[in-house]
Structure 1
């Protein structure tokens, strides 16, 4: 008897599911607002919990049956619920509209202030919180310049950051005396100058190499040669520190002279 009842419920369940599925049909529709199609709107059948999204033309299709509830939603629009009717089916395309939602912002209280609207003046009146860094913590060497390898070697050879001081408490580093006498300090100063020059050369190459090749017609293989030629000019340092426009004019002028000095390569 129990087996018969179990078999009855199984058969009844299959028939119920089949009947339910038979009633489901594809519903075709598109979603629009007052301007045009709404792309990527979310459509969900609240009855079957199945969902889909509209395509770039605002179109979608979804399995549904009469009296199912379709919820259509999209950010910035008021969600709408459609009760499926018999006339929604077939090859006809239904049109469902979404209405934009107006969001009201909470009231904002503006505190009184003494700002004038001029940045140069107001920046002085703005209170800032104390920063926590090496300087505020009074750590050793806080705020000091980060030295290059050549600068660090030279400083060490001169006896540290304070090689010697003048005054009643005149102190001279022994390292400074030894390295000065041996000529090491002079040599290290030359190395520092070379290192500084290389930094400037690489900066010019990185910033102006395209102009040097394309506009001034210097060969790619001659870029470094040309830049080092420019550094030999007595006005190079002054020009380098005088701004981008002056550097460009300087390079353009030197390029013409450089090509004349290398006529075999620039005919």
Structure 2
């Protein structure tokens, strides 16, 4: 009975926090530039609310946000940019952000034997799970589950998952993991196919190529084929999805 009351209390608290946050949201306007030029097709994610947006051809955008929300700005060729929204930002209602292109200063390293690892050499009998940076943050934060409340009586309940559940950090980290995986898939596509493949072979205008990449990684079947690294199958999927994408563009024009 006590456990039910404790769970009901935390559930009520989370609902009140969520309702209060939604009521404070405001449509925030902004602009993203590189070298004073507006940038088209930048993906914007509000980690707190999960809402997304995309910059227009002149680099301008709008997205619902409130004070202390964290906005993430991503594009394959640019460095990821994060911005915590302040009360002043909401009053001014005009964000001007400057993003930078990614640079790679490392020289190419050729590994002749790609199969060598502690797993292949028999040092360990089971290959360890590999986590991306965002997944490691999520593992550290912990994921709160209602059954953990049963451990309160024994004094053995970890506090981090509960605290992170209340302040929304775990939810934010889960969303960032999803975004990061999509970004990695887009990077893999860019490594497999040059820009000319999309413009000449698939007939997609250069300004829409990045948008097409984001479009295809939303398709779960395509992502499975992508990770098989079978270029023939990947190409078949891209050709079919390119037709769908061009129809979508025509319907919006």
Q: TM-score range by the shorter chain?
A: 0.3 to 0.5
TM-score by length of 1: 0.38
* Higher percent of residues as helix: 2
Larger radius of gyration: 1
Q: Which has the higher contact order (CA 8 A, sep 6+)?
A: 2
